[in-house]
């Protein structure tokens, strides 16, 4: 099939490349000329394991191309996928201006042949219908269907997730579109749910909100564990063995970050409130997450009797999770801002996110190029992102490098017992 993918971010670039790998002809469009130039030189603007090789291979095979020319890409396509950003606005509502702008451009570029326009961006319920209206406003007689096929990949394992999805959801009102979209996705999975576009759009928000709920729930349990000297690791394990609960997304820590959970929980909350419904669970999920990282800074403050000023704190990990360079809504930002506000000096390490982090963090932050260099001579270390390089520091290295043996484990990722055995003052979340 011939595909046009509009937006070459984490979603568009990965899914466009993977569809090319499956044998389709894919033209990826981005309005940023610099990004397209980079991609044409085989330079990948994001860090995503396995992606560079796939881009190179499919470009060389003539199945994948990058352009700023949306009109040309649309003319050649049977299916046009929209994968532009839908960031948060001040009210919490999703900003649909990028999606609307693409819809207008597609409307202007369409000819008479039947085309399926697929919205992959995460959008409020009813957006597929709005996109169709916008396109038809530009050209009333066009032969199109606008469907919703939400994306469920995770950053850091995006290529793997695209090739091995748990399910594909197709929301459409057209049998012809459903059949073309099934044909496109069948090589990936037989688990295909076909529904209407509104339900499909809701499936995406509900899935992200549910996963975020699991995280805030276990974080709340961890906070209660702290009060009663129970261990949240043991609690999560014991809970997760119940098949109705499951073990995943029960890892307590400093809260969820990233470009999606925070904004999508707020966007769904907004949709409910906009119709006069108060979504109490979503509100609580968001509230627990807002304060979770602050609790660990308070912990650190207590260790130093409320006087953290002048201390050097090593921050291990800056990205919102390992295996990505994405700093959007990374908990490290709030943590570092809090520490600097209290007069601490921050020395930070991340294997790949430092360049992105510099754009968001205060100028005072010192950056180093290894986990060991970060903890060397520091008064305390704060594990913020559970990168392998940070987790693999040995108890001896922690002990010998830190000026004071204080380790705050914001991800409950370190071996508490062996650190304690080395005489280190260890603080996890909900870990007695």
Ligand X SMILES: O=C(O)[C@H]1O[C@H](OP(=O)(O)OP(=O)(O)OC[C@H]2O[C@@H](n3ccc(=O)[nH]c3=O)[C@H](O)[C@@H]2O)[C@H](O)[C@@H](O)[C@@H]1O
Ligand Y SMILES: NC(=O)C1=CN([C@@H]2O[C@H](COP(=O)(O)OP(=O)(O)OC[C@H]3O[C@@H](n4cnc5c(N)ncnc54)[C@H](O)[C@@H]3O)[C@@H](O)[C@H]2O)C=CC1
Site residues, ligand Y (CB under 6 A): 6-12, 29-32, 35, 83-86, 98, 101-102, 121-122, 151, 153, 155, 259-260
Task: Find out whether 153 is annotated in a ligand binding site.
Answer: yes
Binder of residue 6, out of ligand Y, ligand X, none (CB less than 5 to 8 A by kind): ligand Y
Select the binding partner of residue 320 from ligand Y, ligand X, none (C-beta < 5 to 8 A, by kind).
ligand X
Structure tokens of 93?
A: 């509502």
Name which of ligand X, ligand Y, none residue 86 binds, using a CB cut-off of 5 to 8 Å depending on partner kind: ligand Y
Output phi, psi for 316, to 5 deg: -100, 110
Half-sphere exposure of 107 (CA within 13 A, CB side): 18
Which residues have CB under 8 Å from 110's CB, separation 6+? 74, 135, 138, 139, 142, 144
Of 281 and 373, nearer to ligand X (C-beta) is: 281
> Of 18, 28, 225, 260, which is the active-site residue?
260
Give how far the C-alpha of residue 405 lies from the chain's centroid of Cα atoms, to the nearest Å.
Answer: 33
Q: Using CB distances below 5 to 8 A depending on partner kind, what does residue 98 bind out of ligand Y, ligand X, none? A: ligand Y
SS3 state of residue 299:
helix
Closest distance to ligand Y from the beta carbon of 67 (Å): 10
The end-to-end CA distance of the chain, in Å, is 56
Residue nearest to ligand Y (CB): 9
Per-residue x/- mask for ligand X, residues 262 to 301, rule CB under 6 A?
Answer: ----------------------------------------
Contact flag: residue 249 with ligand X (CB under 6 A): yes
Residues 211 and 178: beta-carbon distance below 8 Å = no
Q: With binding defined as CB under 6 A, does residue 253 bind ligand X?
A: yes
251 in a known ligand binding site: yes
The annotation status of 122 as a binding-site residue, yes or no, is yes
Question: Among candidates 359, 329, 364, 360, which has minimal Cα distance to 344?
Answer: 364
7 lies in the binding site for ligand X (CB under 6 A): no
Are 315 and 374 contacting, i.e. CB atoms less than 8 angstroms apart?
Answer: yes
From the list 60-68, 148-156, 294-302, 392-400, the region that binds ligand X by CB under 6 A is 148-156
Whether the CB-CB separation of 131 and 26 falls below 8 Å is answered with no
Using CB positions, name the residue nearest to ligand X: 260
Q: Interface with ligand X includes 153 (CB under 6 A)?
A: yes
Report whether 330 belongs to an annotated binding site. Answer: no
The SS3 assignment for 403 reads coil
Q: Is 33 known to sit in a ligand binding site? A: no
| Phi, psi for residue 365 in degrees, rounded to 5 | -70, 135
User: Furthest-apart CA pair in the chain: how many Å?
Assistant: 75
To the query of whether residue 260 is one of the catalytic residues in this protein, the response is yes
Task: State which of positions 187-226 bind ligand X (CB under 6 A).
Answer: 208, 211, 215
Choose among 304, 287, 250: nearest CA to 412: 250
**Does 253 appear as a known binding residue?**
yes
Is 102 or 170 the residue whose CB approaches ligand Y more closely?
102
User: Least distance from C-beta 248 to ligand X, angstroms?
Assistant: 7
Place of tokens 């979503």: 282
Residue among 85, 258, 317, 405 that touches ligand X (CB under 6 A): 258
**β-strand pairing of 366-367 with 345-349:** parallel
> Which residues are known binding-site members for substrate?
152-155, 204, 249-253, 257, 321
Active-site residues, by number, are 260
């Amino acid at each position: 099939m011939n595909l046009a993918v509009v937006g070459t971010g984490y979603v568009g670039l990965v899914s466009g490349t993977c569809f090319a790998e499956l044998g389709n002809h894919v033209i990826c469009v981005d309005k940023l000329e610099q990004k397209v130039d980079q991609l044409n030189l085989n330079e990948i603007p994001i860090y995503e394991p396995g992606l560079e090789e796939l881009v190179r291979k499919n470009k060389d095979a003539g199945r994948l191309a990058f352009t700023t020319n949306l009109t040309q890409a649309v003319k050649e396509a049977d299916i046009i996928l929209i994968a532009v950003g839908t960031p948060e606005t001040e009210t919490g509502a999703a900003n649909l201006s990028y999606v609307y702008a693409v819809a207008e451009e597609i409307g202007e570029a369409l000819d008479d042949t039947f085309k399926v326009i697929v919205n992959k961006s995460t959008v409020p319920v009813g957006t597929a219908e709005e996109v169709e209206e916008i396109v038809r406003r530009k050209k009333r007689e066009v032969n199109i269907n606008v469907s919703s096929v939400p994306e469920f990949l995770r950053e850091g394992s995006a290529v793997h997730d695209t090739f091995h999805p748990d399910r594909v959801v197709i929301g459409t009102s057209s049998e012809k579109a459903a059949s073309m979209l099934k044909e496109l996705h069948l090589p990936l999975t037989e688990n295909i749910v076909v529904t209407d576009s509104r339900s499909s759009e809701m499936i995406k928000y509900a899935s992200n909100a549910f996963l975020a709920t699991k995280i805030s729930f276990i974080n709340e349990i961890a906070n209660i564990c702290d009060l009663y000297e129970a261990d949240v690791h043991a609690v999560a394990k014991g809970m997760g063995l119940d098949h109705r609960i499951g073990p995943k997304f029960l890892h307590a820590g400093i809260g969820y970050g990233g470009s999606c959970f925070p904004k999508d929980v707020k966007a769904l909350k907004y949709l409910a409130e906009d119709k006069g419904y108060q979504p109490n669970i979503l509100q609580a999920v968001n509230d627990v997450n807002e304060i979770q990282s602050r609790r660990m800074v308070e912990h650190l403050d207590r260790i130093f009797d409320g006087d953290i000023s002048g201390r050097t704190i090593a921050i291990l990990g800056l990205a919102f999770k390992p295996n990505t360079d994405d700093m959007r809504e990374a908990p490290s930002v709030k943590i570092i801002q809090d520490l600097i506000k209290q007069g601490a000096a921050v020395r930070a390490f991340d294997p790949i996110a430092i360049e992105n982090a510099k754009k968001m963090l205060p100028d005072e932050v010192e950056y180093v190029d290894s986990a060991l260099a970060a903890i060397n001579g520091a008064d305390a270390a704060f594990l913020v992102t559970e990168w392998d390089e940070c987790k693999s520091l040995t108890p001896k290295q922690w002990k010998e490098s830190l000026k004071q043996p204080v380790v705050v484990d914001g991800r409950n990722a370190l071996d508490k017992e062996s650190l304690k055995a080395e005489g280190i003052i260890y603080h996890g979340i909900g870990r007695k």
